[in-house]
Amino acid sequence: VTDKFTESMYVLANEPSVALYRLQEHVRRSLPELAQHKSDMQSWEEQSQGAIYTVEYACSAIKNMTDSSVYFKSIDSLLKHAIAMKDQLNAAQG
């Protein structure tokens, strides 16, 4: 009888529902912390995406500035030409 009683107690103690209860306890204890970590990670991801966008925008602006050096050189030569023409007009009038 004691053997059967011990075996019955062992089966009841190791029943799958007890294991599920332990899992439920663990999830209930750890879920709020995991949810907070998820929220923090999403916030950091948003901040990182904003920073990446800012850096890419700045790089694009710098690239456009270096590409526009041809236009600045053209403007510089046109201004020099205009100044030379103005000097010629002043010399002709004087």
Indicate the DSSP class of residue 15.
Answer: -
Q: What is the pLDDT along the chain (94 residues), one digit of tens a residue?
A: 888 888 887 777 777 777 788 888 999 999 999 999 999 999 999 999 999 999 999 999 998 888 888 888 999 999 999 999 999 999 999 7
Which pLDDT belongs to residue 4? Answer: 86
The answer to whether the Cα torsion of 47, 48, 53, 59 is positive or negative is positive
Which pLDDT belongs to residue 39? Answer: 95
- The residue type found at 7 is E
Q: Where are the domains of the chain?
A: 1-66
Q: What tokens does 26 get?
A: 């663990």
Which pLDDT belongs to residue 44? Answer: 95
Which pLDDT belongs to residue 13? Answer: 73
